[in-house]
Structure 1
């Protein structure tokens, strides 16, 4: 929440800060209330909540709802979209390299060699994961912005789905069987040593029910595929 210094200049800075903090706390309370009313289901050993037809960890929902209410795309934005474990990291590196092909080649190489693609193309709903847990103001980033998301197409902010926005969306899809296997390995590799591995059979059952992070994956892919047919000038659908 920005405050014009020429307005209310007679209010002490500390009071302004209190008002900003109060507004932020009220917003967080609103989001928390919305999240508390959502359907819940346990899957892959963790609790997921259903929001607008898709499943999320509660940890992510704050970010998803905040993006919907606050994020505005710019005409020069490029948004890389995908469901998890579909080739996102690979696509981020490719898009960054293509986007910077006319820039200082040495600088681009240094960035790609020293940083993970998730660090130089941030995921808008969980941006704090890659910024040392600090909140990064996406509006402060210079144009053109390269950004990423796992949010389903129907849940993107309205500005991203507007034909007149100018924002381009590049979506990467992957064979659903391969996504499942990759997700299962990734989940078990990141379990704590004290936790039992999650069985393939149990994971498969949840996956077929569509109760997975950002799932059902078939709805996720279908929404972006339809968008690419309806808006070919703005949405590119890739298969991996």
Structure 2
């Protein structure tokens, strides 16, 4: 599929525009968009701005002209000024072919509305009539949060007509070559559908969707508003990770540090001490509770957001959500919480995630197929790199401690002390030794408050995930660093290395960690 996708992209674009397209927080755009993203996010809104928002080829120009004319008393003389000057396209520089040329080739002879579109829009006199094709979650912060009460006019169009118009727009601007891409696309879609159907047990016909850049079951939409509007408390502590990156380990460490390494209180199951906020909308068991039956399932499974909300303070909240889908009060810095993010080498994370799928997520296919899904951003909580990059880029804006799984394995006492300092806690050397022992792999593996060993028995006995699935393995499995060296072929390692290098080519600071 990857080779065919590369073939399709190379065929579809003219040879003068070797643009690299990327998934930027759920939006398919040239990689140049990242260069203007902060300026868009922090764009200063004025009270009298009017926004015209559309998907391309949905009547944008028509609506811009109508809105401007209504607001200017149908002044036909003033309307002779080009529309781009009366109603500027704010993200032009970062999303269009001409904008890409101005950033990657040459600005010679190109006007400001092309080369500096955000600044050009910002400098317009009031009232401004601003055009954008950005989705709602990428609008300027002051606009999408309602901080400023602007008028927004959105225009939709039948997608069949929009598609035809968009094709001709691309073709008339010499953006695409005359090739028939449909057959390749259809073949890729069929292969992906076939792969997905093979990988899940017969008892869980989950439909996965791309929700604002996040690969999750369609049930996530049922809790998304509750997550977005989750009421943050000042003393909340958040443990954020991509799955299988040391989440449970970090939760137990953070909770223990904050509770003076109280071994008796730590016998309470971890899900009650450090709840998994989006569990109901993203996991297989949560899907079962929403689509099949809640019978016998506890609140932390069937009502995870409410369960997390009702915890006494201070709360220690776990999430695998990417930064842009965290609760609004948290990601905007409205509340000043502590966030602890843990990353892990993606090769080891992938191997661990595969075994976790075989254990609790109803996965019945091969490791090779799982690799295809992982590298293709089609596993739960994908894409992997956007997850890490989102938190990394915000680590200095918010109170974020960035930890690495590998450093926890190499020197756990130092990480314990670093985390305690971040949390404003002081531990004696004796307490550090006690906690190091408590967090050892052997101790955690046999700890019933952490290991979830009983869950596999319930799944198998009740055949919750179907008749052709049997939970295999352990929740806390090996916890090794570098397991990929013995479990991956040289060809697969090369594929991962290329994937890592490609995703981090614009992030030299992260290259030092992962390459």
Query: Do they fold alike, i.e. is TM over 0.5?
Result: yes
Decide whether the 8 Å contact of 2:340 with 2:402 is kept in 1: yes
Report the Cα distance in structure 2 between the residues aligned to 1:74 and 1:85, rounded to whole angstroms: 27
Q: Greater Rg, structure 1 or structure 2? A: 2
Provide the rounded CA distance (Å) in 2 between the counterparts of 1:138 and 1:132.
8
Q: CA RMSD in A?
A: 2.4
Matched, 1:204 2:371: yes
State how far apart, in whole Å, the 2-side matches of 1:154 and 1:191 are.
25
1:138/1:57 CA distance change after superposition, 3 Å: same
Partner residue of 2:265 out of 111, 114, 119: 111
Alpha carbons of structure 1 residues 148 and 133: separation in structure 2 relative to 1, 3 Å:
closer
Q: 1:227: Cα distance to partner?
A: 1.1
**Contact 1:89-1:118 within 8 A present in 2 as well:** no
5+ residue gaps, structure 1, are 1-40
Displacement, 1:116? 3.3
The residue that corresponds to 1:85 in the other structure is 244
1:58 aligns with 2:225: no
| 8 A contact 1:82–1:172 mirrored in 2 | yes
Deviates more, 1:222-231 or 1:80-89: 222-231
Q: 2:275 aligns with which of 115, 119, 122?
A: 122
In the comparison of the two structures, how many residue pairs are matched? 188
Q: Distance in 2 between matches of 1:184 and 1:147?
A: 25
How far did 1:144 drift? 1.7
Residue of structure 2 in register with 1:237 after alignment: 402
Deviates more, 1:59-68 or 1:142-151: 59-68
Would you say the 8 A contact 2:275–2:308 is kept in 1?
Answer: no
The correspondence of residues 61-80 of structure 1 with structure 2, limited to 5 A, is 61-68=221-228, 70-80=229-239
Unaligned residue ranges in structure 2 (runs of 5+): 1-191, 201-205, 281-285, 287-296, 406-515
Matches within 5 A, 1:112-151: 112=266, 114-126=267-279, 131=299, 133=301, 135=303, 136-151=306-321
Indicate which of 382, 391, 397 corresponds to 1:215.
382
Distance 1:83 1:140, change over 3 A: same
Q: Which whole-Å CA distance do the structure 2 matches of 1:214 and 1:133 have between them?
A: 18
Give the secondary structure class of the aligned counterpart of 2:255. helix
Post-superposition CA distance 1:76-132 (Å, at most 9, x none): 11111111111111111000001111xxx6xx31232x3332331001112677636
Corresponding residue number in structure 1 for 2:349: 179
Give the Cα separation in 2 of the matches to 1:156 and 1:56: 15
Partner of 2:10: none
8 Å Cα contact 1:78/1:147 also seen in 2 = yes
C-alpha distance after superposition, 1:177-202 (max 9, x if no partner): 1111011111123366xx8x311111
Q: Which protein is richer in strand relative to its size?
A: 1
Residue 154 (str. 1) matches residue 313 (str. 2) = no
Give the conservation status (yes or no) of the 8 Å contact 1:81–1:149.
yes
Aligned mates of 2:307, 2:372 — CA distance in 1: 39
TM-score (norm 1): 0.70
Secondary structure of the residue aligned to 1:81 is strand
Pick the aligned partner of 2:359 from 169, 189, 193. 189
Per-residue deviation at 1:215?
0.5
Distance in 1, matches of 2:298 and 2:347, equals: 29
TM-score, L = length of structure 2:
0.34
Cα distance in 2 between the residues matched to 1:79 and 1:199: 34
* Shift of residue 137, structure 1, vs aligned partner: 4.7
